[in-house]
Amino acid sequence: MRPAFSLRSHIALLIALLVTLLSWLFGTLIGNDSSDRIREEVGRDLTEVSLQMIDRLDRDMASRAAYLQVLGSLNVLHQPDDPKQIRELLDRLQQEIPSIAWIGFTDPKGIVLASSGGILEGVSLAQRPVYIRGYKELFIGDVHEAVLLAKLLPNPSGEPMKFVDISLPVYGPDNQLAGVLATHLSWAWADEVRQSLMEPIQKRRAVEFLILSSDHTVLLGPKTMIGQKIDLPELRKPLNPDGQWAVQQWPDGTHYLTGFAASQGYQNYAGLGWIVVARQALEEAYAPAREIGERIVLWGIGLALLFAALGWLLTGYFTRPLRHIAEAADHLSAGQAAVIPDLDSPRELALLSRSIRHMVESLTHQQNALGLMEDKAYSDPLTGLANRSALEKYLLLARSHERILALLYLDLDGFKPINDSLGHKAGDQLLKHVAVRLRGYLRDGDLVARLGGDEFVMVLRVPEDEALEQAQQVASRVLHGLQQPVVIDGHEVRIGCSVGGALWPQDHATLEGALELADQALYRAKQTGRNRAEFQAKAHNPA
């Protein structure tokens, strides 16, 4: 009896070791390959979001300079006889563009004649760069602190206030200098841009964004790094205009997957040399690959225990076919081509051989499955916005975490004629522009999703006492923002937008019902003239 018992022990142990070895081998191979794939994909993602953010910053800066140039062309500034009228004009502009912290108009000598809120009126700016540089031509200055202005402006956060200057000369009818139009843009605007772009990717990965000046000083990023100069190998050489990524060791000694994008300017705005950097710790990036590897190992251990139990019950009759299986497994573990024998009988050995073959095939399929990241399942491939699946997942989570949500259904007005006349490629470009603008209206925790075609849904987190008011404000901004012209392939195109809104749970107890009500409100907006917003709530004024 002792030899029989010893043989069973050896058979059980051999099977357990072989299955575990196969699991470890495939887990290691798949894990290593997955790590390479993930590193490549995350690197491209970081580069893409860096390019998106620097493009957004350049476009926003150029648009604000354009606003100022349009304002400077008004007659009220060419003949500055009424400071009160000028102040009212500047106050309205500041209300329309919240990123403007202060805007003023000086006389030719630099004395502030009128300004938003009346701040600094009568004060001389003659010795300040915003006047000195804007005296002759359009001036766009880099980020700086303004101690005097910071004391006069509200600052709820208590953190040091930083500004970006834009100024330009204004000439009278006689082509003589009438004054200088100057503005301070709040640097918090850049952080709002960062948050709007970071929200989708942070749901999947722990990513940090930094904005560096031309000399690589941190302008925006973690508080402990602001003001520090960053010295990375990739920053010591010219950056690719199309962005780039690399694994970099940062001053804290941690290795990060790092994406870089340098400012290229926009239209007549040459840029200030800013660099957007997006980084993710290498260990964090490899986490999905490690999880899959651990699952493979656990699966292998489970199979090893199962097959060891089966092997313990085998008799000497099964020794020879088992040896064939073991030999094939040895070849596989050595990296050689081999196939697990497909036995017909006895039934137990046939089952064992098929199970091992299926395990090998399944482990091999895991390698391809790792290439499909979760973000692709939840992202619209054209615009990069959330898709319908992501919206459903977001709303599912919101049921247990949120108390009030505003749901806005959006449908573009005039999109089909543009798509038909300029072609689908131009239509796709227009949808991308729309996506960028819609992201700009999001607050922390909000979501915008593309349902397909030219239909979108915005989900806003709103306080209960101001739910409808805030939803209407966002809808109004969307209507106004999407009316602005877009240049596509040399053609200036304009579109509109119709919005239907509903509140959950105020308008309906279920999210599905609230969405249906928002869709019905959208239909009413379409039927009553388009380019307007309709809400389900009874007490409201259509936007």
- Report the catalytic residues: 454
Return all residues near 60 (Cβ < 8 A) that are at least 6 apart.
99, 189, 193
- The tokens describing 8, both together, are 């069973």
- The tokens describing 240, both together, are 């690719």
Q: At what angle do helices 347-369 and 319-333 cross, to 10 degrees?
A: 20
Amino acid at 99: S
Q: CA 157 to CA 213: how far, in whole Å?
A: 24
- The tokens describing 114, both together, are 């009128």
Q: CA 80 to CA 220: how far, in whole Å?
A: 38
Task: Please name the helix (run of DSSP H) or strand (run of DSSP E) that holds residue 189, with its range, or none.
Answer: helix 188-204
- The tokens describing 261, both together, are 């994008």
Q: CA 528 to CA 369: how far, in whole Å?
A: 49
User: How far is C-alpha 177 from the geometric centre of its chain's CA atoms?
Assistant: 44
Q: At 104, is the secondary structure helix, strand, or coil?
A: strand
- The tokens describing 477, both together, are 């901004």
DSSP alpha helices (H): ranges in 314-346?
319-333
Q: CA 378 to CA 394: how far, in whole Å?
A: 10
Q: At 436, is the secondary structure helix, strand, or coil?
A: helix
Q: What is the DSSP letter of 500?
A: E
Q: Phi/psi class of residue 462: alpha, beta or left (left: φ > 0; alpha: ψ in -120 to 50)?
A: beta
Say if CB 10 and CB 279 are below 8 A apart: no
Return all residues near 100 (Cβ < 8 A) that are at least 6 apart.
64, 93, 94, 116, 183, 184, 185, 186
Q: At 111, is the secondary structure helix, strand, or coil?
A: strand
DSSP alpha helices (H): ranges in 73-187?
75-78, 83-96, 129-132, 147-152
One DSSP character per residue, 251-278 reads: TTS-EEEEEEEE---BTTB-----EEEE
Say if CB 388 and CB 451 are below 8 A apart: yes
One DSSP character per residue, 362-400 reads: HHHHHHHHTTS-HHHHTB-TTT-SB-HHHHHHHHHHHHH
Beta bridge partners of 163: 144, 186
Return all residues near 219 (Cβ < 8 A) that are at least 6 apart.
143, 162, 187, 190, 211, 212, 213, 226, 274
- Angle at 434 (CA atoms; ends 433, 437), nearest 5 degrees: 90
